[in-house]
Structures are given as C-alpha cells and as structure tokens.
Amino acid sequence: MSATVTHAQPADLDALAVLFDAYRQFYGQASDVAAARDWLRSRLRFGEAKVLVARQGTSVVGFAQLYPSFSSVRMARTWILNDLFVLPATRRQGVARALLDAAAAFAREEGAAAIQLETARDNAAARATYRNAGWQEDDTQWYSLSLA
C-alpha cells in the first residue's frame, strides 16, 4: 500500500507522539510519550520545525522532522532532516522514500538551497534508502560537543 504524505496538523499529535517515542527508543532513550507529544507540539506551535506525516489509509506510519538552518556561503536557507522514522511493520513499502521526496519538494517550494542529514555509518538500510532517493554521501567528519 502506498503512503500519502502531508504536513502535520494539531490533530496528528497523539499518533505522532507514539511514533516519535518509538524513534527515540530506537536511539536508546527511555519511553516518554507525554514528553514526546510536548516536544512536537512546541516545535510546531512556535514554527521551529516542519513535520511531515506518512499515512497508509487512516494510520500514521511514519514521519520526518525538518529543522531550518542557513548556509552563510550560499546566503540561503537550508533544512536539516533531523528525524525520519517508519514503523517496522511498514518498512520496505516505499514510506521512507515518500517522506524523503516530500521533504525535498517542501524545501524546493521554500526556496532552500539544500537539505542535509546524517546517519550512522553502520545504518546500511537507511544509507541505501537515501542513495536510492538521490542523496549524495560524502566523507565529511561530523564532530559534536555535548553541552548537557
């Protein structure tokens, strides 16, 4: 079954919170659906993120969350595709690809110069999906500083 992708609406928050919580658990975080819902509600309410929702029929089966950024060199808006998650039962059905295509279409409509994402080098399935959707991989080394 193909997926339909739309921009998240307030009515989507409960279903999105469950998916966002599962996404966070995938990355080793403790489950907290209420906090996940509050996080998403705040990002949407204050315009700090764009969330795309993938549906199969009436079920929410995946999401992508993009955060705005800028490129000083290009003097243009960019977007960071920070979060992408598809329910395990609906993987390998084109849902992730539909979300990636919708994210690219959204960024183009907004006049952005690029979208960026990163994933673990050992996440072969995700990397293959990104490459198949036309994303380019590079050897840039990302560094981070934990401030908490």
The CATH number of whichever domain residue 91 belongs to comes to 3.40.630.30
Task: Average the pLDDT over 11-17 and give the result.
Answer: 95
**Rounded mean pLDDT of the chain?**
89
Cα-flanking dihedrals φ and ψ of residue 4, to 5°? -105, 130
How many C-beta neighbours within 10 Å does residue 69 have? 14
Provide the domain count of the chain: 1
For residue 74, tell me if it sits in a domain: yes
Burial of 37 by CB count in 10 Å (0-12 exposed, 13-18 middle, 19+ buried)? Answer: middle
Confidence of residue 142 (pLDDT cuts 50, 70, 90): low
Burial of 109 by CB count in 10 Å (0-12 exposed, 13-18 middle, 19+ buried)? Answer: exposed
For residue 42, tell me if it sits in a domain: yes
Structural element, H or E, at residue 9: none
For residue 100, tell me if it sits in a domain: yes
pTM of the model: 0.89
For residue 94, tell me if it sits in a domain: yes
Cα-flanking dihedrals φ and ψ of residue 38, to 5°? -60, -40
For residue 71, tell me if it sits in a domain: yes
For residue 122, tell me if it sits in a domain: yes
For residue 143, tell me if it sits in a domain: no
| Contact (Cβ atoms closer than 8 angstroms) between residue 62 and residue 103 | no
CB-based contacts of 23, cutoff 8 Å, min separation 6: 63, 83, 85
For 112-122, what is each residue's pLDDT tens digit?
A: 988 888 887 88
| Contact (Cβ atoms closer than 8 angstroms) between residue 48 and residue 81 | no
Cα distances (angstroms) measured from residue 11 to each of 3, 19, 53, 113: 18, 14, 11, 31
Structural domain containing residue 87: 4-132
For 42-66, what is each residue's pLDDT tens digit?
A: 999 999 999 999 999 999 999 999 9
For residue 43, tell me if it sits in a domain: yes
